[in-house]
Amino acid sequence: MKVLASDFDGTLFFGEEFRQEDIKAIKEFQKQGHLFGLCSGRPYKGAKKASKGYIDFDFYIASSGALIVDNHDHILHEECIDFELMKAIYTKYEKDCGVCVQGDGTIYRVFNKIELPELQIIVDSLEDLKEVHIYGLSINARTEKNAKEKCQEINELFDGVSAYQNKEYIDIVKKGCSKGHAIDQLKELLNIEHIAGIGDSYNDLPLLQHADHAFTFHTSPQVVKDTADDLVDSVSEAIHILMDK
């Protein structure tokens, strides 16, 4: 059995659509008994809603590795950020950036603070999230340069979290949590010996570093391409390479 974990935005999902050749290849891959799963910075429910009717993932690594869910909606593992720590980060960056909170598999935002093309729950204040399992924060830093600077700042100022740049966005999760760490956990949870990964941006580096076979695109940043075993033009091409091995 072969296993492929794929990033979502910019790898599998482009704007508001999937590539038909990718969907066809994924279905054939699964039909032959292989597993195709998600490894994304998106919240679980948002990714599931966006892919409904197109792709039935065999597993979900969501919120940049903070949440692992099987294909029956069972939580296999979760890593949560302390409420007060989340509040401190949110308060520091909300004036200059768009900030939202990922928790319980969805996105929470304080009323009239930020609009995101995701499944959302609007709350009146952060205090409404005290009982929520907080998996992370997402920050829209507006530009890649600003994201890089703020990502480094967050990692220096807040010891309890890890921040990862995703172009102009920043994904923040509990310290030590990452897409790569989740790949290692998934292998143990599902008794998988080898798992391949594909991603397109900086926040996919842990995924590619921990995967047994790493794919990225010819158009990816150089540092991402340097981490990959194979450069491809699509998820379908990566699947064909795996199936031919």
Q: Which pLDDT tens digit goes with each residue over 28-41?
A: 999 999 999 999 99
User: What is the separation, in whole angstroms, between the first and last Cα of the chain?
Assistant: 12
For the segment 121-150, what is each residue's pLDDT rounded down to a tens digit? 889 999 999 999 999 999 999 999 999 999
Q: What pLDDT was estimated at residue 119?
A: 65
Q: Which residue has the tokens 């450069």?
A: 231
| Residues 128 and 69 placed together within one structural domain of the fold | no
Residue 55 and residue 216: Cα distance in Å, rounded?
20
Q: Are residues 87 and 163 in the same domain?
A: yes
Using the 3D structure, point to which of 174, 191, 225 is the last residue of a domain: 174
How many distinct structural domains can be found in the chain?
Answer: 2
User: Residue 106 has what pLDDT?
Assistant: 93
Q: Do 117 and 143 reside in the same domain of the chain?
A: yes
The tens digit of pLDDT for each residue in 67-92 reads 999 999 999 999 999 999 999 999 99
Mark whether 71 and 97 lie in a shared domain. no
**pLDDT at position 116 over 70:** no
What's the one-letter identity of residue 228? A
Contact 161, 174 (CB under 8 A): yes
Q: Chain centroid to CA 107: how far?
A: 13
Domain limits at 73?
A: 3-78+178-244
Model confidence, pTM: 0.94
CATH number at residue 118: 3.30.1240.10
Please identify, among 149, 174, 199, the residue that sits at the C-terminal boundary of a domain.
174
Q: Are residues 119 and 239 in the same domain?
A: no
Same domain as 192, residue 170: no
Give the pLDDT score at 118: 56
Residues 185-206, mean pLDDT to the nearest whole number: 97
Query: Using CA atoms, how far apart are residues 92 and 86, in angstroms rounded to an integer?
Result: 10
CATH of the domain at 198: 3.40.50.1000
| Residues 90 and 60 occupy one common structural domain | no
What's the confidence (pLDDT) of residue 110? 86
Do 42 and 115 reside in the same domain of the chain?
A: no
- The mean of the pLDDT values for the chain is 95
- Which stretch of 53-62, 93-102, 209-218, 234-243 has the lowest confidence by average pLDDT? 93-102
User: Which among 68, 7, 58, 9 is positioned nearest to 29, based on CA atoms?
Assistant: 58
Q: What is the DSSP letter of 75?
A: E
* Confidence (pLDDT) at 193: 95
Residues 134 and 15 in one domain: no
Q: Are residues 61 and 73 in the same domain?
A: yes
Q: What is the pLDDT of residue 33?
A: 97
Last residue of a domain, which of 174, 198, 214?
Answer: 174
Same structural domain for residues 74 and 146?
A: no
pLDDT at 115 over 80: no
